[in-house]
Structure 1
Amino acid sequence: MHKSKGLTLIELMVTIAIVAILTTLSVTSLSGFLIETRVDNEISQLHRLLLSARNFAINSGRNVTVCPLNSANACSTQWQEPISVFIDLNNNQLFEPQNNELAIKVKSAIREGDQLIYAKYRNKVVYQPTGQLSGLSNGTFRYCPKGFQEKSRGIIVARSGRLYMTTDIDHDGQDEKRQGGEIVCQ
């Protein structure tokens, strides 16, 4: 009796087909995982930035401003750009180091194409020495990865200054605000 030491052409083709199917499935799952990880990382960084700003306001006894700065060092609504935390001594929404205003922290810009939106047309968050927000009412930061709106997440900034992360309340794969509405990126 003669034993074969190799694979037949059919066995080889079946093996290659199985490997191709498994590779396709794993790459699809991996890209979804990478997007979720990127969103979670950005939300976590923003959460830590806001907590740092609030804590600095409480500990220093001064108002602390969180905002994206434009080229003139003025607060803007371009939240996808680097976000700065600083003490705005004269409350003019400008970071002026020449006036002894202190830069506390800067968060880098988000990935190009993704969106970070804070309420409608709001250009800053200001924490008072009490830890509460100055001026405006509650607002929601929404991080929206390009092409994957269903993976969007958010942080609700309450008037009290406390922060609340959005979660998937109804287990449909999309985060909702505490009131139950899904995160909308528009």
Structure 2
Amino acid sequence: MPPSRGFTLIELMIAIALLAIIASLAAPAMSSFLLNQRVSGQASALSSALQFARSEATTKNRRIKVVPVANSTNGWTQGWCVILAELSNCNGNILRRYDPAPAGVTIEGDYLQTGNVLTFRRNGTRAPAVSGTIKISSANLSNTGNRARCLTLDAIGRVSVEAINRDDDC
């Protein structure tokens, strides 16, 4: 009798069932991983925008602003742009535009409540020259493991990012 080739239908169904069980066990961990990456990605994007704005201010020797696309304090989740200080919104000649936050990611902070605009002077310092924080998080994050991000912008315009727990303040 010649050796058989391939799989029987029963063997194939058992392999598919095992794959389905493994996938169902991995799905919650994968969704948590993706949410963590979305929060981290938004923190990186905002940090990058602030560093770019500071750099452009010194390079162009002009005041540069970072403003939300939407005109409200929660408008930062709709994306933001880097513009010349003479402009008031993200319409028109912008230097760089950033995409909206993924669903469920929140961007909030003391800077975003007052004036809703981050301005850099031509020497790269903040206007007004005060320190402040911006928290990027999600209600769906685990409250352990430092999954949220806190951006600190100091008075001279430097940005630092720190990992914090979801319910902690910056």
TM-score, normalising length: structure 1: 0.68
Instruction: Name the CA distance, whole Å, in 1 between partners of 2:169 and 2:26.
Output: 29
Residue segments in structure 1 that go unaligned for 5+ positions in a row: 1-13, 168-174, 177-181
Post-superposition shift, 1:116?
0.9
Partner residue, 1:94: 88
Matched residue of 1:44: which SS?
helix
- 2:30 counterpart of 1:30: yes
How many residues align structurally? 157
Do the aligned residues in 2 keep the contact of 1:153 with 1:183 (CA within 8 Å)? no
Residue segments in structure 2 that go unaligned for 5+ positions in a row: 1-13
Q: 1:114 is aligned with what amino acid?
A: V
Matched residue of 1:51: which SS?
helix
How much identity, in percent, do the aligned residues show? 21
TM-score, normalising length: structure 2: 0.74
Q: Out of 102, 108, 113, which is 1:117 matched to?
A: 108
Superposed, 1:31-110 pairs within 5 Å as 31-70=31-70, 76-77=72-73, 78-89=75-86, 94-95=88-89, 102-110=93-101
Deviation track 1:131-180 (CA, whole Å, cap 9, x = no partner) reads: 1100152121211224226332121111110011113xxxxxxx26xxxx
* Residue 67 to residue 183, structure 1, CA distance change in 2 (3 Å): farther
Q: 1:88 is aligned with what amino acid?
A: A
Superposed, 1:96-175 pairs within 5 Å as 102-119=93-110, 121-122=113-114, 123-135=116-128, 137-148=130-141, 150=143, 151-167=147-163, 175=164
Partner residue, 1:170: none
Greater per-residue strand proportion: 2
Greater per-residue helix proportion: 2
* Residue 96 to residue 41, structure 1, CA distance change in 2 (3 Å): closer
Instruction: Name the CA distance, whole Å, in 1 between partners of 2:18 and 2:24.
Output: 10
Do the aligned residues in 2 keep the contact of 1:114 with 1:144 (CA within 8 Å)? yes
Do the aligned residues in 1 keep the contact of 2:83 with 2:93 (CA within 8 Å)? yes
Post-superposition shift, 1:96?
8.8
